[in-house]
A and B are shown apart, each in its own frame.
Chain A
């Protein structure tokens, strides 16, 4: 089976702080991969390095079989992926439709396709009624939905989604989940980070857990379920199950 994402000893330092330490990931094509970790574990740093938003300090990144350290190959890879980055990538002074049109044209989609997909995505994301608004007037949830639509418009082989459901309402979230499932069924790969373990448990076929910049668990969801729930496993591997509840005893009355 083809490998969609592969990293070898991927490391990123910020000064003396090591955000990602010797990370070795291997995600096969057609899988729905959930990348979990507590706050500050290195999830977003990893996703930034995988998508070219941040250079690694050392290590190798291969996306869809291509080494992205080569600038030309990196561009070729970008044609095949869609990304929802942590801090989004919207232009303040464009409307949702204009932004999607811009993204569609950057992926060299035919004008008719751009128009058709814009219409459908805006409808699914419930953004049609806010078409006159500039993105700077959007709420956080609306911005997230637009970023998701932009990631989907080129119909990518590989999707990187950093906290895609954060701030998204239940209706759009449901539609999005169904859409992502269909993408995976068609052979696309999804790399997703989320704090909502239930979503990961419901959607993902594979899970990786990062803590303190190191990959502390990687496996299929089935393997994980054998040992209990995802939440139990998560708390166990990140090592926060020993928080002494009695330290807040004053709350008990």
Chain B
């Protein structure tokens, strides 16, 4: 190993980390420093906490409980490590090997430093001290044999990080094409969301549903018997779950802890050796695939822009962007179609919409699958109105930053001769189908679930139109005044100005207030229902007031377009500067 070169690479690594950490505004640097300090202090606190727990809280506990503690620690570590990995995937390597391949540097050194650098993650900073603290605490309370847990836990961390690094290398090769890269990132993120939402789905929807159907106990004896049965079932399920641990390498730590508590050393020693061996294998594989990838010996390409021609086009060109939108001015239609197509092709947007959809399913599932959900009939129209408002809320992060996804493309809008009113209109029309899908779905499900009348359904649609008009109005203003750039392939804002961040937070907080007028028609209907009026009257009032509200909101939207367009034209160079600053 060439020591001066290694020193230089280390310097490069630290300099890159420093620049990455402290770039941007002064506030960003302060936040970064506080975050770093908090992580280190938390690490130390967890070490001390682990020590105290091991020394005092776990004295005399059974080996099974000790194992469960380590299961919790391992699961926690893997969970947070996975979250960190998700963020890391959206970045390239800390030191891009491609940039140094032409220099007389040993690839192994770079690989080694990059691997070491991958440990600078919050999960490692927190989990390793906690595990070591707990180990030393257990040594004090259970005896020196527990010291074997330290190498076992560390080798497990090594194994996880090594294989993660291998996975990252494989994904890097897979993502050499920028289009595929974004899809891979999206797929993995969505996969993680789904995996981590499964418990939520299980406990909030399925398990709650089952609990709701259980018959209440007739007597205290019956209740006691039910509790006992449930305990036996739970115990049996736990044993089944724990039986698979020896086949899952990360859980060799918990198996080793249980064995050590029972006076058996073998599993802990074997686990340590196994984790070390598997880790070494993962690291070796990662190194070999990295070298092959960067030398162009794999099926993939090194991460340079591909200039290879694709297959010649035989099919007729897609004419989506040539479509005429009835009643919509030509330039507004062009902006609407181009933006809509761009949005639907952006994996980050698709991912975001899918996430919103999952959240919607979970929320509606947990709400409507509860058999015990009993609302007074008068409250039901409010739920439907709430669904209309929720649909607007779900897409508001797009409405509030309509130019953020354009990035350099916004330059084309600045250069275009189109009336800025038509650009705003086109942008709003592009977002309309996204909101409409959520709105229709939520309102329809709620209407069907509560068996509401067609009039209430129609009123809810009008309330949705009103809420959406208000959302577009607020969104246009925010998009012009506090735009921020969205990093390609992610939903992460880049160098978001503090003002924009605060404005978005306030906007999200105040949006329910802005959408509050949508609740006026059902409130008026309720008032009428409580009066001495004919039975058909409340629905008619709801429908009528909703129509008026939708008309008023649409008029407000229409009348703000012209002044907002003037504002857009005045600020467009500033917006361009904010959106394209990273490119330049």
Q: Which A residues fall within an 8 A CB radius of B?
A: 51-55, 71, 74-76, 78-79, 83, 85-95, 97-99, 101-103, 105-108, 111, 114-115, 128-134, 136-142, 150
Q: How far is the CB of B423 from chain A (nearest CB, A)?
A: 9
Looking at B331, B337, B414, B583, which has the most chain A CB atoms within 10 Å of its CB? B414
Binary contact track B382-416/A, C-beta < 8 Å → 1, others 0: 00000000000000000000000011111110111
Query: Which residue from B305, B346, B576 sits with its C-beta under 8 Å from A140?
Result: B305
Contacts of A75 in B (CB 8 A): 417-419, 569
Q: Pick the 3 closest A-B CB pairs, nearest first.
A: A89-B411, A105-B334, A91-B409
Q: How far is the CB of A155 from chain B (nearest CB, A)?
A: 13
Binary contact track B70-84/A, C-beta < 8 Å → 1, others 0: 000000000000000
Q: Whole-angstrom distance between the alpha carbons of A214 and B343 in the complex? A: 43
Q: Whole-angstrom distance between the alpha carbons of A133 and B311 in the complex? A: 10
Q: Chain B residue with minimal CB distance to A77?
A: B417
Q: Whole-angstrom distance between the alpha carbons of A105 and B323 in the complex? A: 10
Query: Which residue from B309, B415, B576 sits with its C-beta under 8 Å from A130?
Result: B309
**A55 and B341 contact, CB distance less than 8 A:** no
Given contacts A129-B310, A130-B310, whether A52 and B415 have CB atoms under 8 Å apart is yes
Contacts of B409 in A (CB 8 A): 89-92
B313 at the interface (CB under 8 A from A): yes
Q: Whole-angstrom distance between the alpha carbons of A6 and B457 in the complex? A: 61
**A102 and B408 contact, CB distance less than 8 A:** no
Looking at A55, A76, A93, which has the most chain B CB atoms within 10 Å of its CB? A93
**A108 and B411 contact, CB distance less than 8 A:** no
Q: Chain A residue with minimal CB distance to B346?
A: A93
B330 at the interface (CB under 8 A from A): yes
Q: Chain A residue with minimal CB distance to B179?
A: A137
B497 at the interface (CB under 8 A from A): no
Q: How far is the CB of B408 from chain A (nearest CB, A)?
A: 6
Contacts of A51 in B (CB 8 A): 415
Q: How far is the CB of A125 from chain B (nearest CB, A)?
A: 13
Q: Chain B residue with minimal CB distance to A79?
A: B417
Contacts of B488 in A (CB 8 A): 92, 136
**A87 and B310 contact, CB distance less than 8 A:** no
Q: How far is the CB of B513 from chain A (nearest CB, A)?
A: 34
Q: How far is the CB of B334 from chain A (nearest CB, A)?
A: 4
Q: Chain B residue with minimal CB distance to A118?
A: B317
Q: Whole-angstrom distance between the alpha carbons of A140 and B346 in the complex? A: 20
Binary contact track B321-354/A, C-beta < 8 Å → 1, others 0: 1100000001101110110011101100000000
Query: Which residue from B179, B406, B415, B584 sits with its C-beta under 8 Å from A91?
Result: B406
Contacts of A91 in B (CB 8 A): 338, 342, 406, 409, 412
26 contacts between A and B (CB under 8 A): A51-B415, A52-B573, A53-B573, A55-B573, A74-B569, A75-B569, A79-B417, A86-B584, A87-B580, A89-B409, A89-B414, A90-B408, A90-B409, A90-B412, A91-B409, A97-B318, A103-B412, A105-B321, A105-B331, A107-B417, A108-B330, A129-B312, A132-B310, A136-B488, A137-B177, A142-B307
Looking at B178, B311, B417, B576, which has the most chain A CB atoms within 10 Å of its CB? B417
Given contacts A98-B321, A114-B322, A137-B306, whether A78 and B416 have CB atoms under 8 Å apart is yes
Q: How far is the CB of B429 from chain A (nearest CB, A)?
A: 14
Q: Chain A residue with minimal CB distance to B347?
A: A93
**A136 and B417 contact, CB distance less than 8 A:** no
Q: Whole-angstrom distance between the alpha carbons of A134 and B419 in the complex? A: 27
Given contacts A53-B414, A87-B584, whether A102 and B312 have CB atoms under 8 Å apart is no
Q: Whole-angstrom distance between the alpha carbons of A54 and B576 in the complex? A: 9
**B310 and A133 contact, CB distance less than 8 A:** yes
Given contacts A53-B576, A114-B322, whether A139 and B341 have CB atoms under 8 Å apart is no
**B179 and A87 contact, CB distance less than 8 A:** no
Q: Whole-angstrom distance between the alpha carbons of A107 and B415 in the complex? A: 11
Q: How far is the CB of B401 from chain A (nearest CB, A)?
A: 16
Given contacts A71-B566, A98-B318, whether A128 and B313 have CB atoms under 8 Å apart is yes
Q: How far is the CB of A109 from chain B (nearest CB, A)?
A: 10
Instruction: Please give 18 more A-B residue pairs, beta carbons under 8 A apart, in addition to A54-B573, A87-B580, A92-B407.
Output: A51-B415, A76-B417, A85-B415, A88-B411, A89-B410, A89-B414, A90-B412, A94-B338, A94-B345, A98-B321, A101-B334, A106-B412, A115-B322, A137-B306, A139-B306, A139-B307, A141-B307, A142-B307
Q: Whole-angstrom distance between the alpha carbons of A93 and B406 in the complex? A: 9
Contacts of A95 in B (CB 8 A): 318
Given contacts A89-B415, A106-B417, whether A138 and B305 have CB atoms under 8 Å apart is yes
Q: Whole-angstrom distance between the alpha carbons of A139 and B308 in the complex? A: 9
Q: Chain A residue with minimal CB distance to B306?
A: A137
B211 at the interface (CB under 8 A from A): no
Contacts of A111 in B (CB 8 A): 322
**B583 and A87 contact, CB distance less than 8 A:** yes
Contacts of A99 in B (CB 8 A): 338
Q: Chain A residue with minimal CB distance to B342?
A: A93
**A53 and B415 contact, CB distance less than 8 A:** yes
**A98 and B338 contact, CB distance less than 8 A:** yes
Looking at B320, B415, B417, B580, which has the most chain A CB atoms within 10 Å of its CB? B415
Q: Chain A residue with minimal CB distance to B349?
A: A93
Q: Chain B residue with minimal CB distance to A74?
A: B569
Query: Which residue from B341, B411, B415 sits with its C-beta under 8 Å from A98?
Result: B341
B570 at the interface (CB under 8 A from A): yes
Query: Which residue from B178, B320, B410, B418 sits with its C-beta under 8 Å from A106?
Result: B418
Given contacts A98-B318, A132-B311, whether A71 and B415 have CB atoms under 8 Å apart is no
Q: How far is the CB of A76 from chain B (nearest CB, A)?
A: 7
Contacts of B320 in A (CB 8 A): 98
Contacts of A90 in B (CB 8 A): 408-409, 412
Contacts of A79 in B (CB 8 A): 417
Q: Whole-angstrom distance between the alpha carbons of A88 and B330 in the complex? A: 24
Q: Chain A residue with minimal CB distance to B415?
A: A83
Given contacts A87-B584, A98-B338, A133-B310, whether A71 and B412 have CB atoms under 8 Å apart is no
Chain B residues 543 to 584 lying within 8 A of chain A, measured CB to CB, are 566, 569-570, 573, 576, 580, 583-584
Query: Which residue from B307, B313, B341 sits with its C-beta under 8 Å from A132?
Result: B313
Q: Whole-angstrom distance between the alpha carbons of A253 and B305 in the complex? A: 38
Q: Whole-angstrom distance between the alpha carbons of A185 and B419 in the complex? A: 31
**B570 and A71 contact, CB distance less than 8 A:** yes
Contacts of B309 in A (CB 8 A): 129-130
**B415 and A105 contact, CB distance less than 8 A:** no
**A131 and B317 contact, CB distance less than 8 A:** yes
Query: Which residue from A55, A78, A87, A136 sits with its C-beta under 8 Å from B411?
Result: A87
Looking at B418, B583, B584, which has the most chain A CB atoms within 10 Å of its CB? B418
Looking at A53, A90, A111, which has the most chain B CB atoms within 10 Å of its CB? A53
Q: How far is the CB of B584 from chain A (nearest CB, A)?
A: 5
Q: Whole-angstrom distance between the alpha carbons of A164 and B118 in the complex? A: 41
Contacts of B306 in A (CB 8 A): 137, 139
